Each structure stands twice: as structure tokens, then as C-alpha cells.
Amino acid sequence: MNTLDQYGFTDRIGGLFSFHFPAPTVAEPARIVRADRGRVLAASRRGIVHIDGGTSLVTGDWVAIKPAGSVLGCLPRSSLLQRKRAYDPLSEAQVLGANIDLLGVVVPLDRPLSANRLERTLVAAWDSGAVPLVILTKADLSTRFDDVVAETVQRARGVEVYTTSAEDLDGLENLRGRIGAAQTLALLGPSGAGKSSLINALVGDRRQHTGTVRAGDGKGKHTTTARELVPLGDGSVVMDTPGLRGFALWDAETGLSEVFGDIEDLFDECRFRDCAHDPEPGCAVQAAVELGRLEERRWLSYRKMERELASLHRRQEVAEQRHHTRSFQRVARDAVLAKDHRNRLGKGR
């Protein structure tokens, strides 16, 4: 299997290439394996290569590269995982990866479950366009927190749950079977959740890839601060993501509805169409909370994410408005300058 195939190249991707970069174009397919600032590595039929000027590319992208190594173009992304940059007033999205088929929400069994975090990560996962899975890690330690498995299954609300242990190598075959050939799995979970250990266990002793990167950066160190694709040997790849603290949402309305559909259904039952769902007459949400049918924590978790998205949108609108004003001012100023210029030319004649 050549390097490109190891990173998930299939006949389908080949077909997309011929469609987007038809015959007279001289370019070869490649997949972005790692995209740090200014240093982009891609898997191609010739092995791992450096790419120049791929600043807008993200890990997982399929690109067409010219023989000299520059990028001709990028295939449309089938999925995109992004979050809001922490503390970024300009509210720019941080793209974590593209063309991910499966998104593993990693929940470690060595600590109590954080239901809010699980919900938040599931919302982001649904929203990316990939299929979410919940992956429980450190099953060998699960006796300490007996109820986490059951609670996770209940809170995952129908999303498949896989139990693994990188220590005992339990559950790995099952998970590999689910990943399937030529699929891309990304792992999302808190720092220390066991993501790297799981990847190493899945890879077994086949992790030659790290060595290839080592040759590129000359430092000989593998860190979990970068996101990179790790091949599993059968064309499937896993994306290593650093532990994400505070996962702020980015345009996640779809995901919100997937995870909290039952709450949004309740809205239709409120007496008033414009119900604020605060303690007010005829609010179906408040009634459900009071009757114990809706967990108050879930309701507050939903509310918080909804407010977060609303404020994100307000900031986006302000930024857009400012952009429009600025470009209008620029156009107006250019027009004045042009007029001045014409006048001066006119006078000079």
C-alpha cells in the first residue's frame, strides 16, 4: 500500500480528483497530514512531502499538488470540525480538522462523568458533519467509578458507545471494526483522557509515521500539541487532537438540535409562541422541570450553549458590519482621490 492509500485514498476520492482537476492539469493527489503555522506536511504517492504556502489548509484536507510542491487546489470538505478560539474577541473559528468520517468523543472512566462536557462535545461533533461515537477509555480503572458507563450510555442518547482500555488492550478490535477501512476517525476529549494511549494501542507497533515527521522538523519529538493524521495500516487514519480545554462552540445549531431535540420539541407545547421559558404561565419546559421529566441541569446546559451561540452571532454581525463600513469608506475615499486626480490632470492641461 503506498503512502497515499495509507492515508485514506480511495477510488471515490480519486474520482473527485479527476472531476475537480481534469486531465490536462498536471497535479497529483495528496492529503494534509499536519498543518502547523507555515509548515505543512502531506501524504502523497511519493511518501510524506513538504508543501509550500498551504496556510489555509487544515489537517485532513485532500489537495492537488503540482510537481514543484505547491498547492493547486483543495477538494471540497465533506466535514469540518471547528471551535471558537478561546478568548478571541474577533470570534474567528479555529479549524481542527477536515474530512473526518467518525468523531470519537472520548470519555475517561477514571473520573466522574462531566455531563455538561459530554453534551457540549456531542453538539460540536454532530455539527461537524461527521458521525459521532462515544469512546470510553481506561476501562481497567472503571471499578472506581462504576456508574459512569451506564450514565454515559444514557446521556449519549442513542450515539454508539465503545468501551476500551489501552492498558489491557480491551475493546480495540471492536472499535477497529467500527472504524473500517479508509475511514478517518478524530478523537475529541479532555487532556489526560487517554487519546494518545488509545491511538498507540490501535496502531500497535506500526507507528512509523512519527519517524517520518521527525525527519521533517529535525527535533525528533512527537508532541500532542499538533493535530496530525496517524495511519492504522488499512487505509484508515486517526487524528490526534490535543486535549481541548473549554470547547467553545462555533455555529453549532444543528448539533444543538441533535443533542437537545427533546427540549426543542417542548417549545412547541408552550402556551405562548414567544415564550421565554422563564418561570411564566404555560411554559412546557418549566412544567417538565418541575415534574422531574426534564433534568434541570440539562436545561441549564442547553441554555448556556444557546446563549453562547447567540452572542457569537451578535459579534459576527458587528464584525461584518464594521467590514462593510470599512470597505464602503475605502470605496468612497478612492472615488474622491480619483476625482481629485482627474481634476488635477484637467487643470494641468
**Site for Zn ion, rule CB under 5 A:** 270, 275, 277, 283, 285
User: Quick check: 197 binds ligand GTP (CB under 6 A)?
Assistant: yes
Whether the Cβ atoms of residue 319 and residue 90 lie closer than 8 Å to each other? yes
User: Quick check: 167 binds ligand GTP (CB under 6 A)?
Assistant: yes
Return the C-alpha torsion angle 6, 37, 128, 32, nearest 10. -20
The minimum distance between CB 309 and Zn ion, in angstroms, equals 19
Span 258-317, contacts to ligand GTP by CB under 6 A: none
Rounded to 5°, the CA angle 330-336-337 comes to: 85
Q: Which is nearer to Zn ion, 222 or 304 (CB)?
A: 304
Q: Are strands 184-188 and 237-240 parallel, antiparallel or unpaired?
A: parallel
Sign of the dihedral defined by the CA atoms of residues 25, 27, 29, 34, in that order: negative
Nearest to 264 by CA among 224, 229, 305: 305
User: Quick check: 141 binds ligand GTP (CB under 6 A)?
Assistant: yes
One of 174, 191, 321, 329 touching ligand GTP (CB under 6 A) = 191
User: Quick check: 77 binds ligand GTP (CB under 6 A)?
Assistant: no
Q: Which is nearer to Zn ion, 103 or 284 (CB)?
A: 284
Whether the Cβ atoms of residue 60 and residue 42 lie closer than 8 Å to each other? no
Rounded to 5°, the CA angle 175-142-123 comes to: 55
Sign of the dihedral defined by the CA atoms of residues 151, 153, 158, 159, in that order: positive
User: Quick check: 243 binds ligand GTP (CB under 6 A)?
Assistant: yes
One of 79, 137, 183, 301 touching ligand GTP (CB under 6 A) = 137
Residues marked as binding for GTP?
137-140, 189-197
Q: Which positions touch ligand GTP (CB under 6 A)?
A: 137-138, 140-141, 165-167, 189, 191-197, 224, 242-243
Residues marked as binding for Zn(2+)?
270, 275, 277, 283
